[in-house]
Structure 1
């Protein structure tokens, strides 16, 4: 049994009933085999055993009172996975599906994603099984205040800097930051994704979507191609999907489909993003309303069918494991040439293999959606220096980071004999920096 196999076996035995974490660890560690084989010192130092075990796992209850005076209790999580290259950095997710396995998979992925940005940030993730949908602003405020009343003990501007994720937007970040400031009596960059009036950064909302398109364009450019004239399908309709759509259209692509958790819209003439923004950002409505407002468009119940729409470029930006084996086969049959992950692990392992075997350019999430955390780190830099950069300055830095990420994962893949395999390239490029730091620190 190889070193990687023994670590994975032990991980699954000691962390039962955590399928998402098992999936993420298996995908990453198997692709690191060649780098591990080239460095025997890693096994002697127990590097992988330490890498897959969080430095700290925090679980807590979150009691709150609804508008009718009823008491509710939710679960709260913060997994501080690895701080070898900098303070823990990763979002908070508020969604009914949140459990320890999902938070651990997200935190583990975050280690490598953050490393790929080239910025000094470690990996972490957190959240709660609280569902913000259908809650009043006051209920959400009370929940966020209760959540932060426990979390504040474990975070800090140079220790752990959370951000938003699914279910945690500008409103929630504001409530969380207000409670932290109230308890600690300090105004510091302890959260990113803050409002512009209290220390936030321009381009943060757009960053993940823009970054996804920047790395997509760079991958196409390396093959003498571009997004201009390409037909794109983008799943999701949150910040990532909306701003990926915006930037893709700016670069000449035609986006024909988007979705939310209920179903998808298809507009053969190209999505009218102003309508999507009105429905999702202003009205907080459902994507099906698009079909009522745009003549010639179609709405279909269920999300899986979005991958049956023929396209050149597919950008899954909704949630984990949304693109499965069956959908991957349909995409290949319909002529897709590039798939870029805007969400965290939206493609199953089987689907990833099908796409790669068919010669589809596959950009994994830890590289492709790193624009959000990269811009969060830029926000941290602005906070530390009491600076405020223009949208153009932040956007230019973001584009440079995403271009460099592609070049680094491309180079790592070639170095180890896996040219064009950006899953291997991203995992190795992210791992090598973290491994070097961990070895330098000794056994800690």
Structure 2
């Protein structure tokens, strides 16, 4: 019986979501030969009710629940860092558990905890999403994740709905013989990034804002296509029947609220950048660029917005995370282009990603001239001022914080390189841990 980690990282009250994900864990244990470790990871000590919510749920065979608040996670991580002996232990600990919001860091903690528990795969959900239903029954993504994850692509090719992989392993021996590294779906409902109001206020500003994601040298048509595809997930079509597609999964077609990884998460972490939306999407690009097989399914999760985003403080915090996302693209666009060019050379003779190669690309990008990001800040200032109201007020804040944000974006990529270099020893230390939750 293999162990898997089903994780729910959160920084908000979500007892209802915990109960729903527990139902998915029970479904997995009932339909597959697995022991499910449900990991609820709080980025705060403010929600002891989450532990109580787990304790109140019915006991299910082969489902083990774990609630770790920030203090418990810090104790676990301190032990792992001490055993791993990285060059900068205090910095590594801070990158794993920063004092500010980090989408990548919370999932990195799940990766290490899952390894300590002996889990071979990690399956992630989000607290601001819920499952679709068909005829009153929840539609759980884990059905496809456990059906395909880790299987040779040539074997899976004969069973999925459609495949870009030849089931004859001699036809494409590299791709066909590699195990499926990622199984994922997307979401339906509201935009994954909360900028729908911008599109309503001024579609031209929306285009200008979202196109800052792209490299500046892209053509106008390429930018229009990116804007049209961005943050929409799978649209609004509700689930009716299963569809699965095997091949190289387009990063634009999946979301981190509905994803699972096997093996790759033990080789390369996610960016630990703070206050940056999209900082947890790196592995999706790496799977694609390294030509690792993935399965895309249509058991999409429903995305919704929490009330906190609508407050003045929530609005400002969210816009800052969006700005840092755009600034991060100076570095990530460079790295993604290099990974695309490298292709299968990102893999060693065993078909495993070379972490040292990835770290080298990250460090290379950290030396890029910041002129492109200064240009992005000017464009952002123009966009926000054109929108007026609280957006114009945010532009004033952005003008004051601009130099600091530029420095943070560069530091974030340097920190990611450092963590990537330390990741192997951290994983080994977690595997040697006697911690059992």
TM-score, reference length from structure 1? 0.26
TM-score (norm 2): 0.26
Higher relative contact order (CA closer than 8 Å, sequence separation 6+): 2
